[in-house]
Amino acid sequence: MEFFAWITHKYIMHGFLWVFHESHHKPRKGKFELNDLFGFMFAIPSVYLVVMGSEAYDWRFYAGLGIALYGLAYFLVHDVFVHQRVMWLRTAQTPYFKAMRQTHHLHHAVHTKAGAEAFGFLFVPKRYFKKYGRG
């Protein structure tokens, strides 16, 4: 899923759907931003697959469940931990978590469609971990 998230973020969110994602690279004016619509975009196929696969518990059920669990992980890590849109996990100070947060903030240092780096979600590349993972 991390590879899919990287590709989606770099080529879709910073590509033809920048019109939605741009709100995430600007100061938030309220509780929600247009970028939050991506959650619904991914929830629709997830729910569809879970429902369609729930009778036989075939691959559709498990694919839909995987998308839903990845969405939950995204919410907890990205929205709660990194951007602190909910006041939980504010004191997590392990080197990996520090590197994850700082690498994502590096991504947000660019406020335009092009020129950003660090498109991943859970995986912190070694060069960023070395730079940001120290105390």
Q: 70 pLDDT exceeds 60?
A: yes
User: Structure tokens of 83?
Assistant: 């951007």
Alpha carbon of 104 to those of 29, 36, 99: distances in Å? 20, 17, 8
Enter the tokens of residue 14: 């910073």
Gap between the Cα atoms of 9 and 14, Å rounded: 6
What does the pLDDT average to over 101-122? 87
pLDDT band at 108 (very low <50, low <70, confident <90, very high): confident
Give the DSSP per-residue string, 8-77.
IIIIIIIIITHHHHGGGGS--SSS--GGGHHHHHHHHHHHHHHHHHTTTT-HHHHHHHHHHHHHHHHIII
Report residue 68 as tokens: 């839903």
Confidence tier at 74 by pLDDT (50, 70, 90): confident
47, two tokens = 């729910």
- Average pLDDT score over residue span 19-36: 88
Question: 126: buried, middle or exposed (CB in 10 Å: 19+, 13-18, 0-12)?
Answer: exposed
Q: Of 38-42, 60-64, 111-115, 124-128, which range is least confident?
A: 124-128
Is the pLDDT at 91 greater than 80? The verdict is no
User: pLDDT confidence of 55, banded at 50, 70, 90?
Assistant: very high
